A and B are shown apart, each in its own frame.
Chain A
Amino acid sequence: MTHPMQTVREFILGRNPGLAEVSDDLDLIDSRAINSLAFVEFLFLLEELTGEPIDPEDVAVDDFRTVTAIEARFFDRKAAR
């Protein structure tokens, strides 16, 4: 089974053909790898991967800033429970 973070990286690469790789600390917001137009799709992907709804009120832009931040916010917490 594909690791969920691999799916996250594939989503980002799929939407940014100019990007060769997604490093752990690439600023996804400033680089516009994830922008407003991709954001809803990205939230739905995370909901599907985590199996849990995400309340948009409950997240901040920094939760999506890097792959490291995404993993910590949406996957490590789930694993720790």
Chain B
Amino acid sequence: MAVREVEPIVLDLNRLENLAESGYYNPYTMFDWPDAIDPGQPWMSESLTTLAGTPMWDGLTRAQQLALTRFEAINFFSLNIHGIRELMSEVVMRIHERPYADVSEFLHHFIGEENEHMWFFAQFCLRYGGKLYPTQPSLTADSVDHLSPVARELVVFARILIFEEIVDHYNAHMATDRTLPEIAREINRVHHQDESRHVAFGRMIFTNLLGQVARRDPDEVPVVAEYLEKYLQYSIATLYNPAAYRDAGIPDPLALRRRALEHPARVAAHDEVLKRTRKFLSRSGVGRELLP
């Protein structure tokens, strides 16, 4: 981590820090965890499952559809857990480094809240699903080695922001979905509430670091844009877990996954999930329109 090459980041975070303090809650006591969830209820909004809107969903029995909502809820929460593990480790490594000194107060709130989110997501998975899905395998070779140190810092916070914005799309919808069990709704609601502050912070730090990249070498901006677009697509694809299809009793999960990812209804759904983030990236001058 070459923080010497990053200029100090100064942001006006008073409002976000005050909100974090005034909205502080005890996650360990605030949820009412039922012993079991009614098997007739979906655990994830049906319209948010990875087969929604396709003939593949219509071809499932009702039992398979409900099972898919259960295993995709476990997959969604597992992705949250692994995403939080990754982002927390990155932030922890930076919190009292010189460029981040001015934002360290907010980063303390951020780390604390993310740890709590990880706890309640894991509670749900382990209590009702009996497991987490493992993290996605990755290559030891890094996909950002070609970027400058400042751009790599930008990518760290961009990944956090993108992850949070995608997840928030799902949380916001499920927070008010009356077909879901109350505990699932509540987890999504609480997470959505905290994430709105994290997203606001994420956009501010992203804008600062992008400005540093553009001042240092404007030619690197399209290279970052290409990476971010690939990261958006990668993130969407992680929602399509063949293990969840397998667990839901759906045959030929790999071929199904491939067909689902390419289906026009799903491509439109991905665009909807990513709309807000793509708009922000374009407005910031690092959207996919820069790609060759």
**Chain A residues within CB distance 8 Å of chain B:** 17-18, 29-30, 32, 34-41, 43-44, 47-48, 56, 61, 64
Of A17, A36, A41, A44, the residue contacting B143 (CB under 8 A) is A36
Within 8 Å of chain A (Cβ to Cβ): is B22?
A: no
Most chain B CB within 10 A, of A30, A35, A44, A48, is at A35
Chain B interface residue bracket vs A: 20 to 34
Q: Which of A29, A41, A61 has the most CB of B within 10 A?
A: A41
Given A39-B139, A44-B242, A56-B137, the answer on whether A32 and B254 have CB atoms closer than 8 Å is no
Cβ A61 vs Cβ B140 within 8 A? yes
Task: Find out whether the CB atom of B143 lies under 8 angstroms from the CB atom of A37.
Answer: yes
Whether, in the assembled complex, B28 has its beta carbon less than 8 Å from a beta carbon of chain A, the answer is no
Residues of chain B whose beta carbon lies under 8 Å from any beta carbon of chain A = 136-143, 145-146, 230-231, 233-234, 237-238, 242, 254-255, 257-258, 292
Choose among B138, B146, B292 the residue that contacts A36 (Cβ–Cβ < 8 A): B138
Query: In the complex, what distance in Å separates the CA atom of A35 from the CA atom of B226?
Result: 13
Question: Closest CB-CB distance, A51 to chain B, in whole Å?
Answer: 9
* B231, A37: Cβ atoms closer than 8 Å: yes
Choice from B138, B146, B257 contacting A39 with Cβ under 8 Å: B138
CB neighbours of B146 from chain A (8 A):
32
Residue numbers in A under 8 Å from B237 (CB-CB):
40-41
What CA separation (Å) do A41 and B255 show in the bound complex? 12
A39 closest partner in B (C-beta): B139
When chains A and B are docked, how far (Å) is the Cα of A39 from the Cα of B237?
12
Inter-chain CA distance A44–B238, complex, in Å, is 12
Residues of the A chain whose Cβ atoms lie less than 8 Å from the Cβ of B138: 36, 39-40
Is the pair A37, B137 in contact by a Cβ cutoff of 8 Å? no
Output the nearest chain A residue to B235 by Cβ-Cβ distance: A37
Do the beta carbons of A35 and B254 come within 8 Å of each other? no
Given A40-B138, A44-B242, A61-B139, 4 extra CB contacts under 8 A: A35-B141, A36-B139, A40-B237, A56-B137
- Please indicate the chain B residues that have their CB under 8 angstroms from the CB of A48 in the complex: 254-255, 258
Given A40-B238, A44-B242, A44-B257: A29 touches B139 (CB 8 Å cut-off)? yes
